[in-house]
């Protein structure tokens, strides 16, 4: 019985160390989620990228409209969704999770 307790304790310690190692390898930083809703973080030729938290009931298109100062009449909604999917490959653009941060295209003025 004493041997079994030692094996369980040793296994628990190993699993904790493996978890800590994986967190360090991924570069997890809790402070990154506090990014401002319209702060550009990456640059592209046609748009910048903004890190935004999804609110209840919002869609990709409603968030893109919210973060832009002027209406986006010249940009195809299909292009917006394609750009979102490129920046968030593991996210489903049709089912945004409330409270989760996503990257959204912040388009430059195209007049």
Instruction: Dump pLDDT digits (tens) for 29-83.
Output: 544 444 444 444 444 446 788 899 999 999 998 898 888 877 777 778 888 899 9
Q: Which DSSP symbol is given to 98?
A: T
For the chain, give every domain's residue range. 2-31, 33-107
Structure tokens at 68: 């832009």
Distance CA 10, CA 23 (A): 20
The residue ranges of DSSP E strands in 1-111, in sequence order, are 40-43, 47-53, 101-107
pLDDT of the residue at 100: 93
For residues 60, 64, 66, 67, the Cα torsion angle rounded to the nearest 10 degrees is: 130
Structure tokens at 74: 């010249």
- Give the other-Cβ count within 10 Å of 67's Cβ: 15
């Amino acid at each position: 019985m004493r041997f079994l307790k030692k094996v369980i304790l040793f296994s628990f310690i190993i699993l904790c160390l493996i978890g800590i190692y994986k967190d360090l390898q991924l570069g997890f930083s809790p402070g990154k989620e506090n990014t401002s809703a319209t702060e550009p973080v990456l640059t592209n030729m046609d748009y910048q990228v903004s890190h935004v938290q999804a609110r209840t009931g919002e869609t990709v298109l409603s968030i893109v409209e919210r973060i832009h100062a002027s209406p986006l009449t010249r940009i195809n909604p299909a292009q917006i969704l394609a750009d979102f999917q490129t920046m968030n490959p593991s996210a489903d653009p049709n089912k945004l999770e409330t409270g989760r941060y996503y990257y959204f295209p912040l388009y430059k003025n195209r007049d």
